Structure 1
Amino acid sequence: MTRHETFPTRLSGDKPLSVAILAMGGQGGGVLADWIVAMAEAEGWVAQSTSVPGVAQRTGATIYYIEMLPAKDGRMPVLSLMPTPGDVDVVLAAEFMEAGRSILRGLVTPERTTLITSSHRAFAVVEKEKPGDGAGDPAVVVDASDIAAKRVVAFDLQALAEANGSVISSAMFGALAGAAVLPFPRAAFEAAIKAGGKGVGPSLKAFSAAFAQVETKPRAEVTKTPPKRFDDLPPTAGHPALDALLDRLRREVPDEARPLAFAGVKRLVDFQDPAYAGLYLDRLNGLAALDRAAGGAAKGHAFTREAAKYLAIALAYDDVIRVADLKTRASRFDRVRTEIGAKREEIVYTTEFMHPRMEEVAGTLPAGFGRWLEARPALFARLDKLVNRGRRVRTGTIGWFLALYAVSALKPLRPRSLRHAREMEHIERWLGLATATLAADYDLAVEILRCRRLIKGYSDTHARGESKFDRVLAALPRLKGRPDAAAWLRRLRESALIDEEGKALDGALKTIETL
């Protein structure tokens, strides 16, 4: 057998153009890769795409890798299956920290690579599991990209896609076309979208918007925390009870605290009802009066602002009823379908992992009966053995949906529950500490209100947060009277948010003991 018969195809050694796409599930990374390959082939090039799946639960993105090269003199090119560090022309990242990971992997180089990334964040599990702010600092990625990449295109492709009724892959394709790093005209990009045959209209709109953005403002400012946006008070809510709440917000709440108070009212109406939101405004009005008497106007009514925020959070505590309500809402099922990119005809089931304890069951019962059960440890322990085990709940099935829906229907009985009674007692103690401190040390009183941030969630998470809250505020007697008392209480709160075990807080409290 001759050499020609063994290798019938002559191979080209010319260097291909290479594109790496980093995208998570539901972001259309596979569709984007298909568009690029289809476009290249339609233009007479040879193209190849491969993918390496990431890990589920947002711990890593799938890497789609594309190489393309014009067919030359009948010779087929040699194309790689994986990106090689230092050898990638374009990196497309569907999320900002994924752009940072592409830099760490060596895929982005200053001599060669154009980095196109969305500036929005989709937080990873390791970021979400921190008690406090575990989000990575995007400024580090900004600095690294300025050094590592030949050129950077970065703006919120996710928001742009949503505004045009499409998914982020369409906007990324538009940004790729606008960056003019591939030797194909805009019409070739659009033809690839049209050839797909699905969602063509919204995809082209998102494509065009991203294309235009690259031409006008290819770099957007990236911040760790997006700016807070509060809704303006509407002229009317279309319901007498809600209109009464709006009127009270205008009359009773200082201007500086009104946006937060309006957000609190909306949260509490959703949590319980308008009457419950009215109780919130009653209490907030009293706190605002104390704030004014303590000279709060000179400090921008900071005490009232923090009270408006954290009192609403405290009153909208997470309990079994709330969890069941959220898990059975139609909006949640719609959001899940959108996130995973489910088609209209596809059936989607969600599996919830629940581990209830007898404490949560007792908390849902009327206060008297719940305390009666807790006063009988042997009975309580036997009942705990029946309920305290992990369950996989498929909320898409009729049986489990009806069970959760029945629990959510207990909302009218919540104010008489043991959990509600305990939360109200805790709120009274917390606000009592803050108001008792207000006249003597305004800044310390504000920090006491902010300590409510330590308490969140339910079950074990709530218990740990409440324990840290109590330990932090137990240091108040040592701090009162010091000119730096507010700063020390802030340090304690920040230490409590560093780790779940509270080791940092232990160290900070030992320091307090030496003062």
Structure 2
Amino acid sequence: MADRGFLSSVRYLLADFIGDDDDEPPFLPEGLPEPVMAVASEAIHLLIDYQGPSYARLYVDRLRRFIGKRGVDEAMLGEIARLMAVRMSYQDPIRIAQLKLAELHGPPGASAGSVEVKKFRLEELIGALPAAIAEYILDALDWAGWTRRMRVSIRFSTKSRFGIRRLKMEAGLRRWRLLSVRYARERVWVERWLHMIDRSLTKQPQAAPTIIQTATMIEGYGDVYRQGMADWNAIIDGLAKPTFDGVLALSDLAGAIAEARAAALPDPRQAALKRKIAEIRARVSVNV
């Protein structure tokens, strides 16, 4: 399943990059329950705006895996559809520029313009570039110890022609997004999240809704995004994966994840979260 997802990502990446996109939005997947249709339709329109029709087709392909799957009811499928769209439209400088430009098409009499200042980690800004360029820059900055320490403030302005022109240039980088370091990481994350949901449905079905909701741990950009991603990986690697692998005899995975999430604090060292995960693991047997 993961391999199919990877090949789908590559196919849609190449289609978008070389312009092999017929501009036709994808159809809703066959067999989609009626209550989920509105969620999926809204997601398709969101992702077309975000990246293009081929990217929306990737969303449809991913969603199709869970239609009619044992243990997946309408409510669960709806949450997968909703949260996957949120993660596939992750916030990066390109997206913020897109949204800022959209303000210009607001109702008559709206504000003549506004300025927002966003603070990014330096690695995020470089990560939005094509990987062939970004990886060399990131390696050099990491060697110098600057990558994780530096923060950069970026102005997104619609108050002047220069600001609008710059926004259009930044939004125009959308064409390169699927070649970026950030997209590669996001693709891996989405596929792993879907894989964990699938494993939960097989190994511990009662925990599947909780696994699905872990997507809400990751949001925004900058330090908030990085913290959420680190915490998610700690919980999945420390509790979910070993349970599915049969290494950790955790009968109530959903409760354990909720307990761990409650202990997560905005701490780059993850001290409280790591202690809680160790405490949970210590309460049950571990098969080495």
Amino acid at match of 1:372: Y
The residue aligned with 2:196 is 433
Structure 1 residues 394 and 509, CA, compared in 2 at 3 Å: closer, same or farther?
A: same
Q: Which structure has the larger Rg over C-alpha atoms?
A: 1
Q: Measure how far apart 1:507 and its partner are.
A: 6.2
Report how many aligned residue pairs link the two structures: 255
Is 2:52 the counterpart of 1:273?
yes
Q: In structure 2, which of residues 78, 84, 88 is the aligned counterpart of residue 305 of structure 1?
A: 78
Separation in 2, partners of 1:240, 1:395: 28
Q: In structure 2, which of residues 130, 135, 138 is the aligned counterpart of residue 371 of structure 1?
A: 135
Separation in 1, partners of 2:253, 2:131: 38
More strand by share: 1
Q: State how 1:246-285 maps to structure 2 within 5 Å.
A: 248-249=28-29, 251-285=30-64
The residue aligned with 1:475 is 239
Q: Measure how far apart 1:462 and its partner are.
A: 0.9
Q: Measure how far apart 1:359 and its partner are.
A: 1.1
Q: Deviations over 1:91-131 (max 9, x none)?
A: xxxxxxxxxxxxxxxxxxxxxxxxxxxxxxxxxxxxxxxxx
Q: In structure 1, which of residues 371, 376, 396 is the aligned counterpart of residue 159 of structure 2?
A: 396
TM-score by length of 2: 0.75
Is 2:259 the counterpart of 1:491?
yes
Q: State how 1:50-449 maps to structure 2 within 5 Å.
A: 241-242=24-25, 244-245=26-27, 248-249=28-29, 251-289=30-68, 292=69, 294-296=70-72, 300-331=73-104, 348-377=112-141, 388-390=151-153, 394-449=157-212
Q: Measure how far apart 1:324 and its partner are.
A: 1.0
Q: Is the 8 A contact 1:307 1:449 kept in 2?
A: yes
Q: Deviations over 1:332-351 (max 9, x none)?
A: 7659x75xxx6xxxxx4423
More helix by share: 2
The residue aligned with 1:150 is none
Gap regions ≥5 residues in structure 2: 1-21, 284-288
Structure 1 residues 447 and 384, CA, compared in 2 at 3 Å: closer, same or farther?
A: closer
Superposed CA RMSD: 3.2
Gap regions ≥5 residues in structure 1: 1-238, 343-347
Structure 1 residues 444 and 355, CA, compared in 2 at 3 Å: closer, same or farther?
A: same
Q: State how 1:459-470 maps to structure 2 within 5 Å.
A: 459-470=222-233
Q: Measure how far apart 1:280 and its partner are.
A: 0.6
Amino acid at match of 1:369: I
Amino acid at match of 2:230: S
Structure 1 residues 511 and 313, CA, compared in 2 at 3 Å: closer, same or farther?
A: same
Q: Percent identity?
A: 24
Structure 1 residues 467 and 241, CA, compared in 2 at 3 Å: closer, same or farther?
A: same
Q: Deviations over 1:61-90 (max 9, x none)?
A: xxxxxxxxxxxxxxxxxxxxxxxxxxxxxx
Structure 1 residues 494 and 260, CA, compared in 2 at 3 Å: closer, same or farther?
A: farther
Q: Is the 8 A contact 1:256 1:301 kept in 2?
A: yes
Structure 1 residues 357 and 486, CA, compared in 2 at 3 Å: closer, same or farther?
A: closer
Q: Deviations over 1:203-225 (max 9, x none)?
A: xxxxxxxxxxxxxxxxxxxxxxx
TM-score by length of 1: 0.44
Q: Deviations over 1:340-375 (max 9, x none)?
A: xx6xxxxx4423223344312321211222122222
